[in-house]
Amino acid sequence: MNTKKYLRKIHLWLGLTAGLIASFSGITGALYVWQPELSGLLAPEVLKISNANATTYKDHLKTAKNLEKIHRDSLAAIRFPERERETIQVDFINGDCYYYHPSSGEYLGKNPSTITFFNTLLQLHRNLCIGAIGSYIIGTSSLFFCFLILGSGFYLWSTIYQKRWRKGLSFKKSTNSKVLNFSLHKLIGIYGLLPLFIIAITGGYFTYYSGYNDVLNIIPTFKIKSETSLILPKIGAPFNFDKTAIDLYPHYKIITISYPLGTASNHRFRFINLTTIQSGLRKPTEIFTTSDKVVTKVKSYETYSKTEKLTAQMYPIHIGESFGFINRILVFLCGLLPAALYITGLRFFLFRKKLI
């Protein structure tokens, strides 16, 4: 069997199998792109406040401290205003989520069904709601789609149109449904090749993140750590949350305080440079402490290696938030393309088998 026939079979059978998973992942991901806008629209009573710009960072810190005093023994996490949420969210050990005004501390409501829906949608997108096994199914399908399906498709396209590439980039009008179907499949694949490759390879990272890091770290310069002039807590020192929150501001704002749960013995304080949906690099800083607030680990973008700085952008690139609103529209549209490729590819297969 020559190379072309071999790759044609790979393209066909992986397209019909892994392509189906990639199509489902693409559709759920496309829907999740608009989670912030839809959540804010459908649950404004707990996510939105009037005159949100009038609240200050110090207001948020003061309100969170008061909420911690009130609910200390039952807390799982306190989440500060971020993305579509202009309120403070308090997660409890029993699974409830309460929402409070970031300045006054007024109780606004709990457990909106909209949030539950989008959390379920995200889990479907990441792991089919079946945990680690589902994560490997999604991640492996993403990499198969990225390298084998798209790669073999591009090779087949290039062999067919190597001396007539303009024809390979144009739509052929025809009354023949087979010709129209093939033309659609060809054009969706070739014009969507680069964005689909980017979305698929960034999607695979969430399952195989350690492998991505290992591959990038083969390059010696990618392992070099950065230096910073920002004041970061020292390992082994007592952790002063108020001081750290002010020291890192305005470069970083606190977005989550996670409390020890089950066998976990650490508090985790997560800071980020961008708390609203906007273009730019995502720069996280995480500080871990013991239950009596002694620093055990500090992970900051400021001291990341080049590998860590690159992989920190996988999520915003994957969901289209790295380059503004137009990028999100493109990611939404590209999320629908695997399904379009699957349908046209399946029809092409059935046409050849004369089943339709």
Residue 340 contacts residue 188 (beta carbons within 8 Å): yes
Residue 101 and residue 88: Cα distance in Å, rounded?
6
> Structural domain boundaries of the chain?
1-43+117-224+317-356, 225-304
Query: Considering Cα of 239, then 52, then 111, then 62, what sign does the dihedral take?
Result: positive
108 in helix, strand or coil? Answer: strand
Tally the C-alpha atoms within 13 A of residue 141's C-alpha that lie toward its C-beta: 24
Question: Of 210, 167, 224, which Cα lies nearest the Cα of 190?
Answer: 167
Residue 171 and residue 173: Cα distance in Å, rounded?
6
pLDDT digit string (tens) for the chain, length 356 residues: 688 899 999 999 999 999 999 999 999 999 999 999 999 999 999 999 998 889 999 999 999 999 999 998 899 999 999 999 999 999 999 999 999 999 999 999 998 998 899 999 999 999 999 999 999 999 999 999 999 999 999 999 999 998 888 899 998 888 888 989 999 999 999 999 999 999 999 999 999 999 999 999 999 999 999 999 999 999 999 999 999 999 999 999 999 999 988 666 789 999 999 999 999 999 999 999 998 899 999 999 999 999 999 999 999 999 999 999 999 999 999 999 999 999 999 998 888 766 54
% of residues, the chain, pLDDT over 70:
98
Residue 146 and residue 23: Cα distance in Å, rounded?
12
Tally the C-alpha atoms within 13 A of residue 336's C-alpha that lie toward its C-beta: 7
Q: Which pTM value belongs to this model?
A: 0.91
Residue 51 and residue 86: Cα distance in Å, rounded?
10
Identify the pLDDT of residue 2: 83
- Helix (H), strand (E) at residue 160: helix 150-160
Identify the pLDDT of residue 34: 96
Each residue of 190-208: pLDDT tens digit? 999 999 999 999 999 999 9
Within the chain, strands assigned E span 75-79, 88-92, 97-100, 107-110, 253-258, 267-272, 284-289, 295-300
Identify the pLDDT of residue 62: 97
Identify the pLDDT of residue 356: 47
Lookup result for tokens 């680990």: 297
Identify the pLDDT of residue 265: 72
